Amino acid sequence: MPPANGVSTPGSRPGSTKPGTPISSTSNSSLILRKQLLDLQKNPVDGFSAGLVDDDNILEWQIVIMGPADTLYEGAILKARLIFPPEFPLLPPKMIFDSEMWHPNVYDKGDKKGEVCVSILHQPGEDEWGYEDAGERWLPVHTVESVLISVISLLSQDVPDLSSPANVDAAKEVREDFASYKKKVKRLARRSAEEAYD
């Protein structure tokens, strides 16, 4: 997504919000996000930690999710980013896993690789395909905490929801060879923990 002012920063990742977005368009977002970050630092929530990728850019956060106990992700240390639009909280952030993921709700190819596809992160309003109620989609009352709890809940499901997968191959494997799916997820979870300590 190009920055609002058209200035690009060499070396930044696709989907990243670049520094240089005019302050006037992000001042409300900045205040809300700074408050949420401060709240999370003062009152940490079990299962994840959050901080800024760059202290000068409140619109991009580094997230670490600890794999939920008694799930395929137990022991994982999953790294991700939340990228907020200047219009936050009116529009949802994007969540992109930097750790390799194999899940029906996480894109695994192209420009969207690592991006989480879950109702709470979908644009507000009616779903043009009729899969979701407007109340399941993004609402301005959602917070970073509610988004991350939703994603942790997604990872905690015994069997992932296959109704509209972002990763069709993972969904197919869940349906046709669940044992193989579980083995791959557990291997990636172990790898994420090993990479966290490298």
Q: 40, 80, 96, 117: which is the annotated catalytic residue?
A: 117
Collect all residues with Cβ–Cβ distance below 8 Å to 159 and sequence separation of at least 6.
174, 178
Residue 117 among the catalytic residues:
yes
Q: Angle formed by the axes of helices 23-42 and 144-156, to 10°? A: 60
Provide the 3-class DSSP secondary structure of residue 78. strand
Q: How far apart are CA 49 and CA 140, in angstroms?
A: 22
Nearest to 17 by CA among 28, 30, 32, 36: 30
Give me the active site residues, please: 117
